[in-house]
Structure 1
Amino acid sequence: MPQITVDHSAQVTSSFACDWPAFVRDLHGTVVEIAAAKLPACKTRLRPTGDVFIGHEPVGDHALVHVHIALLPGRTEETKARLTEAALELVRRHVRASGGLTLHASAEVRELDASYRKYEGE
């Protein structure tokens, strides 16, 4: 915990100035600061995809980034909202469009289900 997934269209990798390691470092620091998570517990997956549509059309001159942050229960709605806004601000700072592309960014903070379990070991 927290489990973080960043889904993004393939254009972000090829047509945007993006420093993913810096983004993840800053995102983890933000999650620790706002949600009182422990840094070693922060886990992030970056998932590029080529199949993205806006309306009925393939993305073309558009790109998407969506940040999912899943936390153990117990944070207030205010804390989750602050974390969502902070995640969006980090996307704005770390993902820069080039070549006339438009970036559509979103974020969501949710609670992990009571069935969540983890395993660490060899």
Structure 2
Amino acid sequence: MPQITVDYSHPVEDAFDVDGFTRSLHEAVVEIAAAKPEACKTLIRHDCLSAYGYDDRADEGHALVTVSIGLLPGRTDEVKARLTEATLELLGKFIAPQDGVTLHAAAEVRELDASYRKFDR
């Protein structure tokens, strides 16, 4: 915990400082949600097959980025909202604007289910 997933689409890959974002996001999770640094784990996935509205998928006018942060239960709605806002702010900082590309970014903080388990080897 926390379990973080970042999905992003073309044409963001050349404009996205993934390393800077991930480091800053981990720092925000530690500060806002009282997580331990060594507990922060992020899976980053580049999606080359995304669609926006009725646009042709070959049109490079839209980029999609979604971030999901799974935390153990116990954080207040205020903490979760602060973390979501901080995540969106970091996306704006670490994804450079691109001419002709509209960035659609979304983030959510959710509670991990009671069935959540993990192991380290």
Q: Aligned AA for 2:62? A: H
Match of 2:115 in 1: 115
Count, aligned residues: 119
CA distance in 2: counterparts of 1:100 and 1:56, whole angstroms:
17
1:55 alignment counterpart = 53
Partner of 2:21: 23
Q: Which residue type is aligned with residue 111 of structure 2?
A: E
Q: Retained in 1: the 8 A contact 2:10–2:60?
A: no
Quick check: 1:32 aligned with 2:26? no
Pair 1:83-2:83 in alignment? yes
User: C-alpha root-mean-square deviation of aligned residues, in Å?
Assistant: 1.1
Shift of 1:52: 1.1
Q: Deviations over 1:74-120 (max 9, x none)?
A: 00001000000000000000001223211111100000011100001
- TM normalised by structure 2 equals 0.94
**Runs of 5+ in structure 1 lacking a partner?**
none
Q: TM-score, normalised by structure 1?
A: 0.93
Q: Which has the higher strand share?
A: 1
Unaligned runs of at least 5 residues, structure 2: none
Q: Which residue in 2 is equivalent to 1:103?
A: 103
SS at match of 1:98: coil
Q: One-letter code of the match for 1:94?
A: F
